[in-house]
Amino acid sequence: MTPHINANNGDIAKIVLAPGDPLRAKFIAETYLENPRLVNTVRNVLAYTGTYKGKELTVFSTGMGMPSMGIYSYELYKFYNVEKIIRIGSCGAYSNDYDLFDTILVNNSYTEGNFAMALDNEDCHIIGASENLNNIIKQTASERNIICKEANVLCSECFDYYIADLNVLLNRLPKEYNITAAEMESFALFYTAKYLHKEASCLLTVVDSHAKKQEVSSEEREKSLNNMNLLALESCLKI
């Protein structure tokens, strides 16, 4: 046990799917896993372990933002011997190239924040996903005929709908990184994985578009991300 996880040793699988929303974790576990069992309830950050087509997996919610992701990914990697975490989350699109419910595979995550400096005194603001995991996901997408677009994303410390002037933010993002979408957790996950010599990847579903002025409901965010969920689950069978 840790200060934030009350699972016992052996309760959590080596491979973890990590949605942010606890209710999304519950929905995924009850919809896709065989014999799911609840293994964490601290702060209602729900986690379930079961099997998918015989493969043991844990679906562990991580909350919102880099500090929350940093805590849970660190404790899962360090104290529960998790080897691989695939974040399955939502994002906002900054490009007209994306439609609502498109699935995105993150190649690199950029932040203006100082998560890396806080964790281990590194002045690092962009970091990549595991090349191995991303290659597995791309291969699985091709085999399953799931359209999966690759992108570099902004990992923001503020929900971008609340930012005083989004255009100011967009204009100061480094142009060489070609950032086309935003979410709030991937940098912390990727950096923690690198720090602890583990692997991490991130799949996202577009749930709002600043470019097209569109968004989905909170219920759809919880239950309508099926292409992403299926792609993550099927990819785990190859790991």
- Active-site annotation, residues: 208
User: With contact defined as beta carbons under 8 Å apart, do 155 and 111 qualify?
Assistant: yes
3-state secondary structure 133-200: HHHHHHHHHHHHCCCEEEEEEEECCCCHHHCCCHHHHHHHCCHHHCEEEEECCHHHHHHHHHHCCCEE
156: CB partners within 8 A, 6+ apart = 111, 112, 182, 183, 184
Question: What is the sign of the dihedral through the CA atoms of 229, 231, 234 and 236?
Answer: negative
User: With contact defined as beta carbons under 8 Å apart, do 113 and 49 qualify?
Assistant: no
| Helix/strand/coil for 224 | coil
Beta bridge partners of residue 205, listed in sequence order: 90, 103
- Burial (Cβ within 10 Å: 0-12, 13-18, ≥19) of residue 179: buried
